[in-house]
Amino acid sequence: MVSHRRKHRLPKIDLMLIRMINHSKGQFIAVLTIITMGVAIFTSLNMASVNMNNTVDAYYKQNNFADLFIQTVAIPYQKVKQLEDINGVDQAMGRITLEVPMITDNQNERVNLRLITTTGDENEINRSTLLEGKLISDSGREALLIEQFAKARGIGTGDEINVQIRGKQYALEVVGIVANPEFIYIMENNQSILPAEKNFGICYVTEEFGQQASGLIGSYNELLIRYDVYADEELLIDDVENALDLYGVKQTIKREDQLSNAIINQELVQLNNMASTIPILFLVVAALILMMMLSRMVKKDRIKIGVLKSIGYRNGQVLFHYVKYSLSAGVIGGAVGAVLGMLLAGAITRLFLEYFHIPMLRVEFYYSYLIIAIILSAAFCILSGLIGARGALKITPADAMRSEAPKSGKRILLEKIPFFWKRLSFSSKMINKNIFRIKKRTLFVMAGISLTYAMMLFSTSMPSIMDQMMNEHFKEFQKMDYNIGFTSPVHYNTVRDMEHLIDANYIEGKLEYPFELTNGNKKKAVNIIGLSRDTRFYTFIDNKGNEINLPRQGVLVTENLAKALDIEKGDLIQVNNYIPNREDIIVQVKGVIRQSLGMNAYMDIDTMGKLLLEKNVINGVYIDSSDPNINEKLIKAANIGPVMSIADMRSAYEQYMTMVNISIGIMVLFSGILGFSIVYNATIVSLSEREMEFSSLRVLGFSKWEIFMMIVRENNILVILGIGFGIPLGFLMSEYSAAAFSTDIYTVDMTPTLTALVYAGIYTVVCVFLAQLATYRKIQKLDFLQALKNRES
Amino acid sequence: MVILRTENLTKSYQMGEIEVKALQETSFEIEEGKFIVILGPSGSGKSTLLNIIGGMDQPTSGKVFLRDEEITAYSEKELTEYRRNKIGFIFQFYNIMANLTAEENVELATEISQNPLPVDEILEAVGLGERKDHFPSQLSGGEQQRVSIARAVAKNPEILLCDEPTGALDFETGIAILSLLRKLNRDMGKTVIIITHNSDIAYMADRIIKMRSGCIIEDIINENPIDVEDIVW
């Protein structure tokens, strides 16, 4: 007779495996999904990370990005070339940088431009890449506008922009739209948490115009330096600063501290961290599930294993039979995930570039990640397979003939409280016994629920934390409506003049200058802000939560600055004065204060002027005003530099929130999938382990629904316990992330909010509920007679 | 010619909190090609004996020889080889793999043995030629036991060890299985050892070893074994 069934060439033991997998598809797919996602995230993020790094590096190289930025008061032309004689300096270039307001049709809008002079030279440092139009010619009032700003404001080539410089209005013709490595990420200063593309832009102008408008005839106010390959950065900086001693070095910024570059590096580091932590989390969860599934399977297959051994299969062959189950999940998940990840990598890299505005793209496929990913997931799965299936080794061939001795029944702790125990119904007793007896599975499900809850808590807390951070900074910490800088210092009486000029409720003068602070060999350049001691615009809270006042002598420093310099209250630090012929000073730290955004030191304005600058000067004001025409009036005033409106900053922040929300959405999705898989698998395993028990209950007359409800009630207890542990876990996660997220630019206090606690709870419960629906289907299909008839199935 | 020899086999093990002496100083020899029934009530030590002979369990003391090889001196690995090539097991509850067809169940065994017999022929011989593509759930108990026998025989072992092969079957099916085993013994010259508590089966054997409480109490050579068809219980 001709066989109708296709002959399987596969070893029969493997055929058994394949049919076994096919039989438990649901669970297998659940594990596979986690592995696939983990691996896809691993490959895509790692490849995106490498691509991003390469792209940024290539861009920097192509556009001759500076290694060192030096802001000075003024440095004559001739002096610049001499710097190239310093050891390690390959190229030095000067330029003029001016912060100016742009005049727009909307008089309520405050727009600031940074004018930067350019020579358009082939080997200019920080050369721009022309995206549209042409480069500027040597003379005239032609300008190049940075892409992000031009796009945000809808300015194109041929358009005219008007700027106000030192009280005079100039019209500039935009001839080209450019991208520049210095402004991949445009932020006005390190006080701005987010780019405000509509309100701050970069505009490149000719040197001739720059000089004329700034009044810096024959001089520059900024230097760019490129190192040669032998440069020793610290030595070089010392040499350069010495050479420039007479010209007032305000601030020396290394490439690593340059705002745009620093932010990009932070993003890349975060991307890297994510690329290594999230996939591992997924693989660990998958490994745990596999372990649980296999250990259960081995227990159930005791006779089958005995028979295999009695037929002559070796221990290793039997163990490997089970390891192959997890290995196939690892390899299939690894391969699918890696391919998926490769496909996603390009998209993710493009997304990042979109966000960063880099006019080039280096996307390459790193096939090594494909292999690493598969090996990584296979390794996890083999390990979990070995641990999960190791019980197969202990089973002897003679077990094939023996029937299983009943498990030693033990009383659980609750039973020792007769008052309580006697009051429970039979099924409640079963539930409690199950939970407390099968500790390993209980722990696993609980851990899964805790993890789901903690991740959800963390994800859902993010938006409100960001919100709270903004409120804390803009409502509690500083309360001004406008923060205005002057282009040069003026006598403090200017405040009174301004009171006449604009309709303000209150105006307060300030001093804000960058200084380098040092403690031993630790250095940090920050803005020191001088304020009246009775300032109405700032409320300082020390790190213990107490309100403190600005001291007459000494400084207050922000937490992140204290950390960067390794200082605490009472320590002495040195303030390096860049102003020619002024001494460096030593000041005492009078307190460490909380500040969400930025890194600063604060001093009494009189003391600051006296010690570091001149007496009775200010270089900016804070305004509390609801005057709608304030912008218009300010623009007309001479000597007005950058104006920051707190409202603008908040709206920029809201834009940014959409991006944050997307990543939160992804995290929520991840936590959901993980939580669901854990609960689903644990319930299914628990179900098959107790098939006999349920079958007996069915015979006793329990309905399917009653049995299902028993599982539900069992899970409910686990959910409550799981959430109980999830809360502190979530807080720990937040605390850890706060430390990881806090940078020079922002300090985050990530305490989960009450709403987040509730949302995370609801979500976790929904997750468990969905997993239980799947369980219900399984119970419907449970053939209790069959289960009782077969000694083992 | 002696194919199997035991010397003072003793086995004791812990069952829960009690120490059980399953086998005490058991010695006997078995001739090649014979049909042997080991008879005894449950707990007489016959299963333990079978496990030790089958290389599935180690005695507490004593020796087992297959021809001149001492299998009780074997390492774990050598024991596996022994089970793989020299012994065919037939279990009371068949113990065939639920997710493999009849044919695949036999192949599961032949794939790892040194000189297996053709699977098709064996399936024909046990009367499953037409049912070889069925899964166990589609087969009757007798058919399942035939699969189990085919699996044991197809490896071409020296000895077939059967643990209550008819224990789970009805009378007619049981007789059919016994007759199959007798046929394999006569046609292929395989030594067959059956352990059972069913004394009626013993009449068909060439030799009957009776056991009680871990000891051999009687060892009978049956000069005139009756035909399987004449057995009644």
Give pLDDT, residue A5. 45
A496 & A550 share domain: yes
A67 pLDDT above the threshold of 90 = yes
Q: Distance of alpha carbon A373 from its chain centroid, rounded?
A: 23
φ, ψ for residue A382 (rounded to 5)?
A: -65, -45
A13 vs B76, B91, B108: nearest CB: B108
In a domain, B21, yes or no: no
Give pLDDT, residue B3. 92
For an interface test with B, the pick among A304, A307, A317 (most B C-beta atoms closer than 10 Å) comes out as A307
> What does the DSSP 8-state code read for residue B118?
P
A33 pLDDT above the threshold of 90 = no
To the nearest whole angstrom, how far is the Cα of A410 from the nearest Cα of chain B? 15
Give me A414's structure tokens: 């609750």
Give pLDDT, residue A1. 38
pLDDT per residue over A483-498, tens digit each?
Answer: 888 877 888 888 888 8
A31 & A163 share domain: no
In a domain, A377, yes or no: yes
A277 & A345 share domain: yes
A542 & A434 share domain: no
CA atoms of A458 and A475, how far apart (whole Å): 24
- Provide the domain count of chain B: 1
In a domain, B68, yes or no: no
In a domain, B206, yes or no: yes
In a domain, A438, yes or no: yes
In a domain, B8, yes or no: no
Least CA distance to A792: which residue of chain B? Answer: B95
Q: Which structural domain, as residue segments, surrounds residue A138?
A: 62-263
Does the distance separating the beta carbons of B99 and A20 come in below 8 Å? yes
Does the distance separating the beta carbons of A304 and B89 come in below 8 Å? no
User: Which chain A positions have a beta carbon within 8 Å of B113's beta carbon?
Assistant: 312
In a domain, A516, yes or no: yes
Q: Which of A263, A286, A310 is the last residue of a domain?
A: A263
pTM of the full structure: 0.72
- Are residues B23 and B10 in contact, defined by beta-carbon separation less than 8 angstroms? yes
A438 close to B (CB below 8 A): no
User: Which chain B positions have a beta carbon within 8 Å of A315's beta carbon?
Assistant: 76, 80
pLDDT per residue over B57-69, tens digit each?
Answer: 889 999 999 998 9
Q: The domain that contains B115 carries what CATH number? A: 3.40.50.300
In a domain, A570, yes or no: yes
Does the distance separating the beta carbons of A310 and B109 come in below 8 Å? no
In this prediction, residue A786 has a pLDDT band, given cuts at 50, 70 and 90, of: low
For an interface test with A, the pick among B94, B112, B148 (most A C-beta atoms closer than 10 Å) comes out as B112
A9 close to B (CB below 8 A): no
User: Which chain B positions have a beta carbon within 8 Å of A401's beta carbon?
Assistant: 47, 51, 56, 91-92, 163
For an interface test with B, the pick among A401, A404, A792 (most B C-beta atoms closer than 10 Å) comes out as A401
A55 & A66 share domain: no
DSSP secondary structure string, A42-71?
A: HHHHHHHHHHHHHHHHHHHHHTT--SEEEE
- Provide CB contacts within 8 A for A394, sequence distance 6+: none
Least CA distance to A316: which residue of chain B? Answer: B77
For an interface test with A, the pick among B71, B86, B99 (most A C-beta atoms closer than 10 Å) comes out as B99
- Provide CB contacts within 8 A for A105, sequence distance 6+: none
A398 close to B (CB below 8 A): yes
Does the distance separating the beta carbons of B112 and A312 come in below 8 Å? yes
A383 & A457 share domain: no
User: Which chain A positions have a beta carbon within 8 Å of B158's beta carbon?
Assistant: none
To the nearest whole angstrom, how far is the Cα of A7 from the nearest Cα of chain B? 9
- Provide CB contacts within 8 A for A309, sequence distance 6+: A315, A318, A395, A396, A397, A400, B56, B80, B83
The whole-number average pLDDT for the span A761-769 is 84
A391 & A282 share domain: yes
Q: Which of A233, A263, A293 is the last residue of a domain?
A: A263
A442 & A399 share domain: no
Q: Which structural domain, as residue segments, surrounds residue B115?
A: 33-61+75-230
CA atoms of A388 and A444, how far apart (whole Å): 14
A112 & A235 share domain: yes
Q: Which of A577, A610, A625 is the last residue of a domain?
A: A625
A-contacting residues in B 195-214 (Cβ below 8 Å) = none
In this prediction, residue A654 has a pLDDT band, given cuts at 50, 70 and 90, of: low
pLDDT per residue over A287-310, tens digit each?
Answer: 888 888 888 888 888 888 989 998
- Provide the domain count of chain A: 4
A392 & A489 share domain: no
Does the distance separating the beta carbons of B89 and A311 come in below 8 Å? yes
A464 & A549 share domain: no
Rounded-to-5 percentages of helix, strand, coil across chain A: 55, 20, 25
In a domain, A637, yes or no: no
B129 pLDDT above the threshold of 50 = yes
Predicted ipTM > 0.95: no
3-state secondary structure (DSSP) of residue A451: helix
In a domain, A632, yes or no: no
Task: Tally Cβ neighbours within 10 Å of residue A421.
Answer: 15
Measuring CA to CA, which residue among A751, A721, A656 is closest to residue A457?
A751
B1 close to A (CB below 8 A): no
In a domain, A417, yes or no: no
A531 & A665 share domain: no
Tell the burial category of B215 from Cβ atoms under 10 Å away from its Cβ (0-12, 13-18, 19+). Answer: middle
- Laid out side by side, the sheet with B159-163 consists of B87-90, B159-163, B191-196, B35-39, B207-212, B215-221
In a domain, A781, yes or no: yes
The C-alpha angle A266, A267, A271, rounded to 5 degrees, equals 115
In this prediction, residue A407 has a pLDDT band, given cuts at 50, 70 and 90, of: very low
φ, ψ for residue A408 (rounded to 5)?
A: -65, 120
Least CA distance to B165: which residue of chain A? Answer: A401
B109 close to A (CB below 8 A): yes
A162 pLDDT above the threshold of 50 = yes
pLDDT per residue over A668-724, tens digit each?
Answer: 777 777 777 777 777 777 777 677 777 777 777 788 888 888 878 888 888 888 899
User: Which chain A positions have a beta carbon within 8 Å of B43's beta carbon?
Assistant: none
